[in-house]
Amino acid sequence: MAAITGHPLIDLAPAVAERALRLLPVLVDISSPFGDVPGAQRCVDASIAAVPAATVTRLRSSSPGNEDDLLLTIHGTGRRRVLLLGHLDTVIPHPEHRPTSHAGDRIDGSGTIDMKGGDAIALGMMAELSGAAWQDAFAQLDLLLVCDEEWRRGPMQHAARFAGFDACLCFEAGERDGQDREAVVVQRKAAGTVEIVARGRAAHAGAAPDEGRSALLALAKVSLLLAEMHDPSGPQRRSVVPSIMQSGEGVNIVPGTGSLTCDVRADDAQAFEDVLAAVPTELDEVVLEARIGRSWPGMDATGRALPVLAAASDLLGRELRPATRGGASDASHVAAVVPLTIDGLGPLGEGSHAAHEHLLASSLLPRSEVALALLAAVLVPSGD
């Protein structure tokens, strides 16, 4: 596919896509599950090497004990500042990690689509834009690559440092809409967990079963109760999915303790409180203690993003559509301080967090065009 030439920046797309294709196996072949410091550092080193002209800053991770995050910066003589955003950690443990394999259009491997493919495009953009020919296009380009996105419980603490930036472009997996048009994410649900600890009374399952108070049965009832609150088509678009239950000390023991975790998503994190309030403090003489665990904000940049998408569509010569996604992303944290935040600029693929995770090599060029068109629309808005 030839590059679209509606703006000089978009002419860089083939070079960006080629860089991304070369860098992808370098990143994916490194196993970097959340919390693994050596793996994260190897990914950081590879990222630094990909943009040798950038200024390197290491930021303390938002998750204690994790590897420091990476901030790459390019300064120019223009007017606008833009943040590119990604993460280097994955969810796949070392024994299950799959290095890259390339067959036809499909590139398989752990972390290809979530989100080292997107990281590779962002790094390719930074490398191409670090040349002297582009210094007057922007005042500052930052690329933040964090090492703790997948399992971080609290906020991404670096967001505040980007207050005043003109835009944030995040490179989570890309998508196309139901009519096969290019799409980017402008709205995300808030994401959280409701975590419940149960304390009953253990007893011998054969000699005195009725003297026990089963934490397992109480949690099973609570999981059914909370599942009734699942209403993704309702006014809050709330989903409630009991996802982890642990209980039992032995096959011949009435379980005295246990825990339940529910994944909760909604347009607004306030909806999590409604789920929390529905958990009884006691059920069948089993004491239940509930709390909000992970809590990430929602994101809705639709109003700010639509004019930018329209301008980028004109530059591309094809329509770029707004999309909504239920999955969590650090874009939601940054959107609180950078109102123009657009996500989903990564390549196309499937199987995030799964054994069949892969991306489509043919999507690297068109998604590079999309990212560069959005950047051009931000750097030179209509009316300037």
CATH classification of 8-188+298-379, choosing from 3.60.21.10, 3.40.50.300, 3.40.630.10, 3.60.9.10? 3.40.630.10
| Pairing verdict, β 106-108 and 101-103 | antiparallel
CA 260 from chain centre, in angstroms, equals 24
Contacts of 219 (CB under 8 A, 6+ apart): 196, 198, 245, 247, 258, 259, 260
| Residue ranges of the chain that CATH labels 3.30.70.360 | 191-295
Check residue 3 and give its pLDDT: 40
Beta bridge partners, 240, equal 264
| Polymer length of the chain | 384
Check residue 158 and give its pLDDT: 94
Residue 201 has what DSSP assignment? Answer: B
Residue 95 CA: distances (Å) to CA of 92, 105, 270, 328: 8, 26, 38, 26
- The pTM (predicted TM-score) of the whole model is 0.91
237 dihedral zone (left: phi>0; alpha: psi -120 to 50; beta): left
pLDDT tens digit at each of 384 positions of the chain:
334 447 899 999 999 999 999 999 999 999 999 999 999 999 999 999 999 999 999 999 999 999 999 999 999 999 999 999 999 999 999 999 999 999 999 999 999 999 999 999 999 999 999 988 999 999 999 999 999 999 898 889 999 999 999 999 999 999 999 899 999 999 999 999 999 999 999 999 999 999 999 999 999 999 999 999 999 999 999 999 999 999 998 999 999 999 999 999 999 999 999 999 999 999 999 999 999 998 999 999 999 999 999 999 999 999 999 999 988 899 999 999 999 999 999 999 999 999 999 999 999 999 999 999 999 999 986 555
| Residue ranges of the chain that CATH labels 3.40.630.10 | 8-188+298-379
Question: Cα–Cα–Cα angle for 340, 143, 181, nearest 5°?
Answer: 55
Name the token pair of 126: 């930074």
The structure tokens 């799409």 sit at: 183
The torsion defined by the Cα of 157, 262, 36 and 89, in degrees rounded to 10, comes to -60
Gap between the Cα atoms of 349 and 118, Å rounded: 11
- What is the enclosing helix (H) or strand (E) of 203? strand 203-204
Check residue 313 and give its pLDDT: 96
Domain 191-295 has CATH 3.30.70.920: no
Nearest by Cα to 26 from 106, 111, 87: 111
- What is the enclosing helix (H) or strand (E) of 198? strand 190-199
